Amino acid sequence: MSEIPAKATESEDPSDGARDQAVPAATVPGDAMWQSSPPGSIYDYIKVASFSISPGGLVEQWSLRAEQLFGIPAGRAVGMDPIEAFIDPDLRERGQRKMAEILDGREWTGVVPFRMPDRPDGARGEEGLAEVYVMPTRTAEGDKAAVCIVVDVRTLRSIETDLAASQAIFGQSPFGFLLIDPDLRVRRANMRFASIFGGTPDDHRGKGVHDYLARGEAERISATLRRVLQSGDSITDMHVTGFVPGSEERRHWSVNLYRVHSGTGRPIGIAWLGTDITARRAAAREAAAARRNLALLNEAGARIGNSLDLETTARELLDVVVPGFCDLATVDLYQGLLAGDETPPGLADGSAELRRVAFASAVSDAPFSGSGDPVAVGAVHHFPFNSPCADALRTARPQHLPAEDGGLVQSTLAVPMVAHDTVVGLAQFARTKGSEPFGDRDRDLAVELAARAAVCIDNARLYRREHERALILQRSLLPPGDPEASGLDIACRYLPGNAATEVGGDWFDVIELPGHRTALVVGDVMGRGLRAAVAMGELRTAVRTLALLDLEPAEVLSALDEIARGLGTPGGVQQATRAARQPRDADLSEVYLATCVYAVYDSVTRRCTFANAGHLPPVLVEPGEAALMLDVPPGMPLGVGGEPFEEVEVELPEGALLALYTDGLVESRDHPLDEGLQAFVGALTDPARPSPDHHPSTTALRADTHRNLEDVCDHVLNTLDTHHGEDDIALLMARVQGLPAESVGDWTLPREPRSVGRAREYARAQLLSWDLEPLVDTTELLVSELVTNALRYGEGEIRLRLLLDRTLVCEVWDSGLVQPRRRRARDTDEGGRGLQLVGLLSAAWGSRRTPRGKTVWFELPLPGGENGLTDPAEALLSLF
């Protein structure tokens, strides 16, 4: 006891301020080291108490720790018999024997069960076990006494358990475990940490973070350790980057830090728990790259191919990849594909000419040369045969281009654009210095992006080719040049949809009929595409054929309806009718529907007969009047069948304007149909009023009611501001210019033989009055033949009419229903050559039914025209 410094025994109270003072160690050679135990020593944990026993076996001294451990103050404990106070009655006899042995001078150590004295309120005291160490001693008078040191066994067992658990956790942890002292030095390291950084755990004692990490990282970690030591705030998942001995691979660790305290709460260091997350970081980077690539592919799918235009599709690809995937990019397409060739030359060796259609840069518009001199957008070029780009085009495989010395680009991928096993061009992606070079994953992504764009480009190419073919077909089915008609001034417009839409089935036609009559037709096959254009051509051909039969407008539409019903069925209308009766097979036949307006105008009477099959109504503008829509009953569209069509006859005044059109002129997504119709009627009401975008010179024609129809068409299209790209537009306008009365000769002849001679006289006189003397002989001969046939085979009175316009037309009417039939007479026949003679001498001839019989007509060209007259003598000789 004499070796314990006095300062250390002044107070056993752990709360005493003297215990918070640590005497610095002074090392002097040959001298003992004197220092006080620092706060938080082992005695704070095990709570050692001491007391002394007098020679009489009573408590003589009672320490402050004993007061804390047993809860009995010194004033009460001194003079107590410890056996009587703390030992159960049934164990006191044994306790007295042990006390006697102790007072006899024996040392003793053992575990003694004890019970705390009963509390003042009568409650029984707590029981426990105490490890007692008894050291014999003598008083100043030489009497035998004893000093007892007591430790609570429960505390010892708890400390043992904690130490065992701490050792197991520290030693067996799969994570790197360090205990760092306040000087930021390693006090203890576990085996896992030593297995990573080499050596044994003891080899790492005294080392600092600078011994493991680079300077910059070590400074950051040191500052973090000091902050944890000062504030006591723990840190979780702090990422640390460094290298392990013997490896150049960068490693990543996730570190958790928390401050460690003594039993009295004094900070004694920092616990470091670290785990290697290098593989996890790599997996996270892979997952992030995969998500980024997936997002890029998703964006490419949404943004590439929205336009059926090759150059636009190429630019859409670059908008996706720059700067999300690369810093510079170009797209080159084969010039042959852009020019419309089916197979561009040079595909086999990659030397064909290409055109640079798109370029994008995220580096201040830096130029991109790839392999060779820079190429401007729009320029036509080709790659050298031995270049990586040409090799990529030949093999249809991506190539990695080496970086140019001193250049901005450090990594370039040349990726062929392959669609349906066909190379359509080359895409180049480049990354500049400072960016991560392309890897295998980037190459695969570039191939996928280029393939998607290539498919869209090839689709655009194929669509453009088919669209051009459909337009050629569609235009070939429309009337060539400017249509001409007797008694009408004709103007027309046909505007196909733009390149982003399919061709439609709109059509119009102007068909000249016998007797200076004209059929005006406007129709629209429902649907779009090549089939609609083909259906339109078939219907237009059918209309022309039916018009030549000189049927009434309602009859023409009824026949067209039957034809339309049979277009989608190989067997024609009969097979379509059978299919309609069988619901199961109804879907096997394709239905073609169309709308159509058919009008027949007679230039002599200036009357026009209309029939409508579900089409928009015609618009009529009379001189000095507002435009109005004619009330023509809209029948069912062609192809529906079952409903008859009605006819409406309207007398058109001289100078009236008639407009037939399709719905593309008056209907769009932005404007309802009624609004478009009203705008169209308004534009025709005052055709001289200029639109805001129209040329001011149109105002000069305001007072001209007979304004040129071409200008009227242009004015209507400009005024309506229609969305021409949404649908095809067909517009047919006709101004009435009736045949003057002096150009018509009309006579009624009785049914008698003398009428033949009178007919020749009337014809001669009329032709002479028209100064058409070269036509007199031929006309007399043919009139004589037709009137003779009317007398011989017809019925009722005979009517002769001559019409002079661009040609001379002669018509002979009678009430008979039997149509004349041309036949070839034999050499021995005396007759049967009349109609053959009519066919030889006239430019055209024919017959048609009328409400009260039939009309036989022939047509002769006027003198001075391109088609000269046939010599009657030669025609007669040719018959024999």
> pLDDT digit string (tens) for 50-80?
999 999 889 999 998 888 878 788 888 899 9
**Residue 571: which pLDDT band, with cuts at 50, 70 and 90?**
low
Sequence-separated (6 or more) residues with CB below 8 Å from residue 524: 504, 505, 506, 507, 594, 595, 596, 615, 662, 663, 730
pLDDT of residue 224: 94
Most confident of 291-295, 472-476, 556-560: 556-560
CB atoms within 10 A of CB 769: 11
pLDDT of residue 587: 42
Is pLDDT above 70 for 686? no
What's the rounded mean pLDDT across residues 456-462? 85
Q: Which CATH number fits domain 43-157: 3.40.640.10, 3.30.450.20, 3.40.50.920, 2.60.120.10?
A: 3.30.450.20
Who wins on pLDDT, 525 or 154?
A: 525
What's the rounded mean pLDDT across residues 724-749? 85
Who wins on pLDDT, 600 or 574?
A: 600
In this predicted structure, which of 55-69, 159-173, 496-510, 735-749 has the lowest mean pLDDT? 496-510
Sequence-separated (6 or more) residues with CB below 8 Å from residue 401: 370, 371, 388, 389, 412, 413, 414, 428
Whole-number Å distance between alpha carbons of 811 and 745: 10
pLDDT of residue 620: 93
Is pLDDT above 70 for 144? yes
pLDDT of residue 734: 92
Query: Could you give the percent of the chain with pLDDT greater than 90?
Result: 25
Whole-number Å distance between alpha carbons of 449 and 447: 6
Whole-number Å distance between alpha carbons of 280 and 706: 86
Cis peptide before 753 (omega within 30 of 0): no
pLDDT of residue 703: 34
pLDDT of residue 811: 92
Contact 737, 484 (CB under 8 A): no
Phi-psi category of 184—alpha, beta or left, where left has phi over 0 and alpha has psi -120 to 50?
Answer: left
Most confident of 113-117, 341-345, 558-562: 558-562
Whole-number Å distance between alpha carbons of 391 and 777: 82
Closest CA to 844 of 804, 809, 818, 806: 809
- CATH annotation of 304-469: 3.30.450.40
pLDDT of residue 645: 92
Who wins on pLDDT, 616 or 592?
A: 616
**Residue 36: which pLDDT band, with cuts at 50, 70 and 90?**
low
pLDDT in tens, 372-397: 677 888 888 888 888 888 889 988 89
Who wins on pLDDT, 503 or 358?
A: 358
What's the rounded mean pLDDT across residues 830-849? 78
Is pLDDT above 60 for 586? no
Residue 682's alpha-carbon distances to 87, 97, 655, 765, 837, in angstroms, are 123, 134, 18, 49, 54
Number of residues assigned to the chain: 880
- CATH annotation of 741-878: 3.30.565.10
Class of domain 481-568+591-685+709-736: alpha beta
What's the rounded mean pLDDT across residues 218-226? 93
**Partner residues linked to 426 by β-bridges:** 332, 416
Architecture of domain 173-278: 2-Layer Sandwich (3.30)
**Partner residues linked to 806 by β-bridges:** none
Is pLDDT above 60 for 582? no
* Fold: same for 304-469 and 741-878: no
Whole-number Å distance between alpha carbons of 217 and 215: 6
Q: Is the pTM for the entire model greater than 0.75?
A: no
**Partner residues linked to 494 by β-bridges:** 730
pLDDT of residue 799: 92
Who wins on pLDDT, 341 or 655?
A: 655
Contact 408, 397 (CB under 8 A): no
* Domain locations in the chain as residue ranges: 43-157, 173-278, 304-469, 481-568+591-685+709-736, 741-878
Phi-psi category of 113—alpha, beta or left, where left has phi over 0 and alpha has psi -120 to 50?
Answer: beta
Is pLDDT above 80 for 411? yes
Is pLDDT above 50 for 232? yes
- Is residue 265 helix, strand or coil? coil
Strands in 116-266 per DSSP E: 127-138, 144-152, 176-180, 186-189, 235-242, 251-261
pLDDT of residue 554: 92
pLDDT of residue 688: 46
Is pLDDT above 90 for 221? yes
Backbone angles phi, psi at 585, to 5 degrees: -95, 0
Who wins on pLDDT, 812 or 535?
A: 812
CB atoms within 10 A of CB 391: 17
pLDDT of residue 11: 36
* Ordered DSSP codes for 314-334: HHHHHHHHTTTT-SEEEEEEE
pLDDT of residue 428: 93
**Partner residues linked to 329 by β-bridges:** 360, 429
pLDDT of residue 464: 78
Average pLDDT, the chain: 80
In this predicted structure, which of 17-21, 218-222, 345-349, 442-446 has the lowest mean pLDDT? 17-21
pLDDT of residue 238: 93
What's the rounded mean pLDDT across residues 585-597? 66
Sequence-separated (6 or more) residues with CB below 8 Å from residue 373: none
**Residue 140: which pLDDT band, with cuts at 50, 70 and 90?**
confident
What's the rounded mean pLDDT across residues 852-859? 89
pLDDT in tens, 165-181: 777 777 778 888 899 99
What's the rounded mean pLDDT across residues 317-337? 89
Q: Which two tokens stand for residue 499?
A: 């390149």
pLDDT of residue 61: 92
Is pLDDT above 90 for 255? yes
Residue reference for tokens 């069912």: 636
pLDDT in tens, 360-369: 988 866 666 5
Whole-number Å distance between alpha carbons of 431 and 417: 19
- Is residue 827 helix, strand or coil? coil
Whole-number Å distance between alpha carbons of 111 and 125: 19
Who wins on pLDDT, 338 or 29?
A: 338
pLDDT of residue 577: 47
Q: How many Cα atoms occupy the beta-carbon half-sphere of 524 within 13 Å?
A: 21
